Structure 1
Amino acid sequence: MHRVVEEISLKAWPAFETINHYGWLMRFANGYTKRANSVTVFDRVGLDIEEKITYCESQYRARKQKPIFRLLSFTNPKMLDDELAARGYEIIEPSLVMGLILSERSLNSTYYINQETLNDWLVAYHSLKALGEQQSTIHRMILAGIKSEILFVSFKQDEEIVACGIGVLESGYLGIFDLVTSPMQRRRGYATAIIQGLLQWGIDKGAYFSYIQVVKANIPACKLYEKLGYESMYEYWYRVGCISGNQQ
């Protein structure tokens, strides 16, 4: 199931360009989010590891982007991880993918969430995240490029949006993305309301599994997801190089 979730999650968050180099999947989206701008290796690293790394580096640097590799724990990536470390790549953002088996039941949420259009949702999200104009433009392009069924939701307090999130449904798998709460409104149950609303939507649409990605250092978020029934499935982390190529 790990690989299925991983492949579906990449489809749920599309890049603008993808190159498959002997099973090494390079994704490009003008630098917005590491998830859409990194190399993922699903299978064994295989032969010619140095050549493959060098080729990937050339593709990112040709686009004036830092080469980034996303390593998945279930692929036993030690050889690749060690080689990247030897080249001076820094490890950042160790993260978890957490999963939840869904059932046909009401989640009994006491809150009411609002469905939003893409435009209205983006205004709220970008305000809560304080994104710059360039980031906002690329973010819009990524969301507009999602082919799966998608739901944009928000939670309002005194007619003001204080939390929002996205549900992406693909082949019975519901991914939850871009979950954010106003810094002044945290610990009031709004994120829980957003997730429960998205889960209920997913269940109503026939979803049987939900997944969510979270940085391991974000302890409050990890605890919230665990409280809602999510369990850790596998880990991933990034190795980030530099644009210039002067790492070694």
Structure 2
Amino acid sequence: MSGLDARDIGHRVVVRHRIPGGLTDLIGVLQSGDPQVLTVRHADSMVHQIATADVTAAKTIPELPLRPVDVDQLFLTTALGRPAVETSYVGHWLLRASSGWTGRGNSLLPAGDPGMPVQDALEQAQAFYDERSLPAQALVRLGSPEDQEIRACGWVDARPGQSDVLVMHTTLDHVNAIPQYDVQLTDHPSGTWYAAAFEGPAPVVAPQVLEGAPKAAFASITLDGEVVAVGRGAMTGHWLGVDAIRVCSGYRRRGLGTAIVQGLARWAGPHGGRRTYLEVLLENAAAVTTYTRLGYREAYRYRYLTSR
């Protein structure tokens, strides 16, 4: 593969190759390769196929340094990666409802201009959730103006006994190494995937939420004849969102969660992925340590506020 092999798929490479009139260098992400052709995706998303017979040199290049993230953009991206069953708007503020399953799927996302005084927007949100017999909650980025404004209207911490949620990010270059285990990827989850993802029966709305993204992949690892680890990835622009990671009891602390993240990262690269995010409770020290070792860093923290 002209100096490159399967371990380099998903990583940035430079390929020097012949073109009419001379030589040129192409820098991009290696999507695939065989003895005849290298497929490289340039940063402008154009995919180039280069005959290996024309390649004079090819090698991987260092990972890009982790640039500061646009937290306002990422705040919205996380909502698009896992859409709720039902949505509505108050100005730019997003109201989400999913029959009560998960905080993200049943909370106000205050991003942008609500188009009216904050108190009036919150009253509309209260009415939206009252109609659905759900508690009115808002997912607020800690330290943001919206956090301060909503608290000033009397909303309080909905989960005082729970730690902050960290939203962590990194580039795919940091996490797309070849997994230690064989990670199977499908467009739609099977019954065995759901059985591994939940301790008991899956909530009725779970398929609508988990399978609702336009472009998603469902990862699993099978050991001893059973699916013992699962995870989900969803593409929003160049962002890969990773969630629903669960490793069955008895198989933990063996690197299965890491392998799931790596498998999803390698899936995302050929789909235009460049960066990735995930969410984890700050109190989950083991998971935070694992993700930090993979190269993830904190982008922001959030909590849920409630009107009651």
TM-score (norm 2): 0.70
In 2, are the aligned partners of 1:43 and 1:75 still within 8 Å (CA)?
no
| Structure 1 residues not aligned, in runs of 5+ | 242-246
- 1:28 maps to 97
Q: Is 1:52 matched up with 2:121?
A: yes
| Range with bigger deviation, 14-23 or 207-216 | 14-23
- 1:125 maps to 194
In 1, are the aligned partners of 2:172 and 2:273 still within 8 Å (CA)?
yes
In 1, are the aligned partners of 2:183 and 2:259 still within 8 Å (CA)?
yes
CA distance in 2, matches of 1:89, 1:177: 22
- 1:138 maps to 205
- 1:75 maps to 144
Code of the residue aligned with 1:22 in structure 2: it is: G
RMSD across aligned positions (CA):
2.4
Q: Does the residue aligned with 1:196 lie in a helix, a strand or coil? A: helix
In 2, are the aligned partners of 1:93 and 1:238 still within 8 Å (CA)?
no
Relative to 1, partners in 2 of residues 1:106 and 1:131: Cα closer, same or farther, differing over 3 Å?
A: closer
Residue 90 (structure 1) shift: 4.8
| Structure 2 residues not aligned, in runs of 5+ | 1-69
Q: Is 1:211 matched up with 2:277?
A: yes
**Which one of 166, 190, 195 corresponds to residue 96 of structure 1?**
166
**Higher RCO (C-alpha under 8 Å, 6+ residues apart):** 1
Residue 14 (structure 1) shift: 0.9
CA distance in 1, matches of 2:132, 2:74: 29
Code of the residue aligned with 2:182 in structure 1: it is: Y
Code of the residue aligned with 1:109 in structure 2: it is: P
Q: Is 1:220 matched up with 2:289?
A: no
CA distance in 2, matches of 1:105, 1:2: 21
CA distance in 1, matches of 2:257, 2:158: 34
CA distance in 1, matches of 2:163, 2:127: 24
Q: Is 1:195 matched up with 2:195?
A: no
| Range with bigger deviation, 27-36 or 98-107 | 98-107
- 1:16 maps to 85
In 2, are the aligned partners of 1:44 and 1:75 still within 8 Å (CA)?
no
Residue 163 (structure 1) shift: 0.5
TM-score (norm 1): 0.86
Relative to 1, partners in 2 of residues 1:220 and 1:169: Cα closer, same or farther, differing over 3 Å?
A: same
CA distance in 2, matches of 1:68, 1:50: 14
Relative to 1, partners in 2 of residues 1:66 and 1:239: Cα closer, same or farther, differing over 3 Å?
A: same
Q: Does the residue aligned with 1:185 lie in a helix, a strand or coil? A: coil
- Equivalent pairs counted in the alignment come to 237
Relative to 1, partners in 2 of residues 1:78 and 1:141: Cα closer, same or farther, differing over 3 Å?
A: same
Deviation readout 1:73-128 (Å, 9 max, x if unpaired): 36332231243446x855455201100122399613222111245241x5333444
